[in-house]
Structure 1
Amino acid sequence: MKMVQLLPRSTPENQGISSQSIERFIRSIQEKELELHSFMLVRRGHVVAESWWKPYDADKPHILFSLSKSFTSTAIGLLVQEGRITLEDRVIDFFPEYTPEDPSPNLSAMTIRDLLIMGTGHAEEPAMQSDIWVADFLKQAVEHEPGTHFVYNSAATYMLSAILQKVTGITLLDYLQPRLFEPLGIYGATWESCPQGINTGGWGLKLKTEDIAKFGQLYLQKGVWEGQRLIPEAWIEEATSKQISNGPADSSSDWTEGYGYQFWMCRHGAYRGDGAFGQFCVVFPEQDAVIAITSGLGDMQAVLNEIWEHLQPAMGSDALPVDTGAEASLTRMLQELKLDPPIEEAVSPIEKDVSGIVYDLEENEEKLRSFSVRFEEDGAVMELEGEHSINLVVCGRNEWKSGTTKLMMTADNEYAASMTWKDDRTLKLTIRLTETPFYSTTECSFGEEGIHLAYWMNQSFEGKVVREIKGKVKA
């Protein structure tokens, strides 16, 4: 049986940070309604504060989005150490079968290092439109000299994964398992793949919060874990140093401090890997600390600002006097954190009348065919028929109920769902996909002969988009 290795635990005061400063951070996060799903603070190698906002929990992995990139960069560093590639190797040399017949000078000059620093020379990120993403990337015009122009480019990170698989014959995830994940005691990692079976590299990795913290701690320790060197120290120094400018420095932003090898430089001497909607691994070399966060944020800078205000300046060099009252207060707060379901004030008088009725849905983008909801004393069961499957979601009344569903995703995801009546004729369903930053809200308005569904996601790359579908009682 594989033993999951946990980081050692300690009190904040023993590691030179006050419990009160952490409590102020959490309180400010709550007051500003910044939706965190998990938080872990590691100081001097010890976890001094950790929390999961229920219904999220420590055992669930969370989609990392672009925080995945820092793991891809690490794999490239290991491949360099093994002597199987160099950073000056040209990208096109790995894929002659997909390289245009007459490649431009800029495409010809593009190297692995250019992929790492987001300095490919593209004016905009290449779109992956076919089943062969490598070919799509190499077809894109390269307007600038590689290495001179920063454009955030997840496709470039995918190319790093593709190069690694071409060289090794195995996926990025399989390559990292014995070299990184197993030594750190990280098990159960998954990574999305392209249509050709290449891990996406720039996104798609799923890990638990403590796994993120271990990764940051490994970097903080310059690549050594329990006496064993896993990553070359020289690689870590390069990867976490500014390699390319990503805009004029702005004292109010952590996105213009420079970019390394798939790591962002931060203000206050820190660096980080991060992913969309607030997935963070922030490393503080000067303070000997790591912060791991998963969330469903719209404003990622806001959480970093809270870290700079409440946590970073509170990390002292010496242990602090024991403060049992403050420690107990913080522990209580961390244990009680939760994201409440909507609370129902009264049961609708039409609940029994509409329970179990099946509605045929008009043509829609999601190719949903029918909808029904069956009410029970402690909640409801929503049944949604799609093109290829039927999704059942159990919703609690004034509480979360959990299960797994393919709803909104291509693979099974764990969910927590609740129901409440917004008014006498409008049912509100909230479904949190608890391994992701996302939750959906659906308002179901019941009429005499039909139903009107309005639904939206809490976060989206497109902003808030409300979609609507009408339906009629099934004949």
Structure 2
Amino acid sequence: MKHLLATLLLATTTVHATDLARLSSVEAKIADKTYKDITSIMVVQDGKTVYEHYFNGSTADTLNDVRSASKSITALLVGAAIDRHLISGVDAPVYDFFPGHKPADPRLAKTTLEDLLTMSSLWECNDENEFSSGNEERMYVSERWLDFALALPVKGFAPWMDKPADSPFGRSFSYCTAGAFVAGAAVERAAGQPLARFAAQVLEQPLGITAVKWNTSPEGIGMGGGGTRYRTRDLAKIGQLVLDDGRWNGRQVISANYIKAMTTPHAQPREDAEYGYLWWHFHFTVDGKDVAAWSMSGNGGNYVLLVPERHLVAVVTSTAYNQRYAHPQSREIISRYILGATTP
């Protein structure tokens, strides 16, 4: 009977392998500056660390500024607030959290948290358009970020832009950091405490994360839109939490239902990617095959990547902020060295 059970276990358990020689060969490319400003790479498969290396003066204790990858943390905090019944759900109206603010247009009163989480609200807010009223750089130089965001006008749709009804998933995507900031501010209002403190209680402490830095806006509101700093190992923990449907060491930290909704495509930013709740769904070509992965992503080429079919978590941190090569080189490292060295 023991032999039969062992045979059945082997037949039903997927065994993953890692080509460490191929994976570690990236180190020479970082050393000769083929890949610039990379500070760490970590790969966890089947819950075990198979590769961890630091570069360019970074160490395991370095707090990496992951910029917009922080938005994905904010999405998890929204889930934690919903789990605790502090927020009714992603369909909660945004302006209800801020009764002292009225929308610039009555149509905006219907804006929900889900609209912000999917970057598909009707606010005229586009970080990729320097002329946009809601461009994040305009927010940063204002005195009160919340006032700035909640007063944004309704966006129009130029002839070359897809309206929501004509867009995949029925949502017209527009990358808006101000929206992620407001989502974090809503969590702060609902929880009745600073965003950083809530994050520590519901996410970081359960995962054993003890070193982190959160930013705040000029008026003291937690910055859920970017700039949070974490150690590489702690970023991997967050990735593993999501990969394991919100569980960590047998404890349900974030509900599985919310994790499923968060990592379901709700909008399409471009032809080669989908978007969940402040999480990207990227596609990589590896050995001629498409490998889909959910990802946190931030300026400078910072990534926390999840590949469910490989039970894989990968972290790439970089300080190539505002450099054109930042994201292409990180994505090449992911596809060529990380995904290329691990098996499905």
- TM-score scaled by length of structure 2: 0.81
- Contact 1:223/1:236 (<8 A) preserved: yes
Matched, 1:176 2:203: no
Partner of 2:231: 208
> What is aligned with 2:49?
47
2:282 pairs with 266, 270, 285, which one?
Answer: 266
Q: Secondary structure in 1 aligned to 2:274?
A: coil
Q: Pick from 142, 167, 185: which aligns with 1:130?
A: 142
Tell me how far apart the structure 2 counterparts of residues 191 and 313 of structure 1 sit (CA, whole Å).
34
Residue 40 (structure 2) pairs with residue 38 (structure 1)? yes
Q: Hey, what's the Cα distance between the residues in 2 that align with 1:20 and 1:295?
A: 22
What is the TM-score of this pair, normalised by structure 1? Answer: 0.59
Deviations 1:128-173 (A, max 9, x none): 2533222111221122588732111111011011111111211111
Question: Cα 1:55–1:302, aligned 2, differ >3 Å: closer, same or farther?
Answer: closer
Instruction: Give how far 1:107 is off.
Output: 1.1
Code of the aligned partner of 1:34: K
Alpha carbons 2:301, 2:329 under 8 Å: kept: no
Q: Decide whether the 8 Å contact of 1:15 with 1:48 is kept in 2.
A: no
Quick one: distance in 1 between partners of 2:123 and 2:25? 43
Q: Which has the higher helix share?
A: 2
Residue 352 of structure 1: aligned partner: none
Given that 2:45 and 2:311 are in contact with CA atoms closer than 8 Å, whether structure 1 keeps it comes out as yes
- What secondary structure is seen at the aligned counterpart in 2 of 1:270? strand
CA distance in 2, matches of 1:310, 1:196: 43
User: Do 1:122 and 1:151's aligned partners in 2 also have CA atoms closer than 8 Å?
Assistant: no
Q: Deviations over 1:295-335 (max 9, x none)?
A: 12332122212321232143226xxxxxxxxxxxxxxxxxx
1:139 aligns with 2:141: no
| Cα shift at 1:59 | 1.1
1:62 partnered with 2:64: yes
**Ranges in structure 1 where 5+ consecutive residues have no aligned partner:** 1-13, 250-255, 318-475
1:54 deviates by 4.1
Partner of 2:129: none
What do the CA deviations read for 1:101-142 (whole angstroms, capped 9, x no partner)? xx4243112110000001112343423253322211122112
The 8 Å contact of residues 243 and 308 in structure 2, kept in 1 or not, is answered as yes
Q: In the alignment, residue 243 of structure 2 is paired with which amino acid?
A: L
Q: How does 1:49-448 map to 2 (within 5 A)?
A: 49-85=51-87, 86-100=89-103, 103-125=104-126, 126=134, 127-128=138-139, 129-143=141-155, 148-247=171-270, 249=271, 256-267=272-283, 268-297=291-320, 298=323, 299=325, 300-316=327-343
Q: How many residues align?
A: 295
Among all aligned residue pairs of Structure 1 and Structure 2, give the percentage whose two residues are the same amino acid. 28
CA distance in structure 2 between the aligned counterparts of 1:309 and 1:62, rounded to whole angstroms: 23
* RMSD (Å) for aligned C-alpha atoms: 1.9
Gaps of 5+ in 2: 1-14, 127-133, 157-162, 165-169, 284-290
* Counterpart residue number, 2:3: none
* Aligned mates of 1:234, 1:184 — CA distance in 2: 19
- Larger strand percent: 1
Aligned to 2:286: none
Distance 1:207 1:258 in 2: 25
Q: Between the two structures, name the one with larger relative contact order (CA 8 Å, sep ≥ 6).
A: 2
Specify the structure having the higher radius of gyration (Cα).
Answer: 1
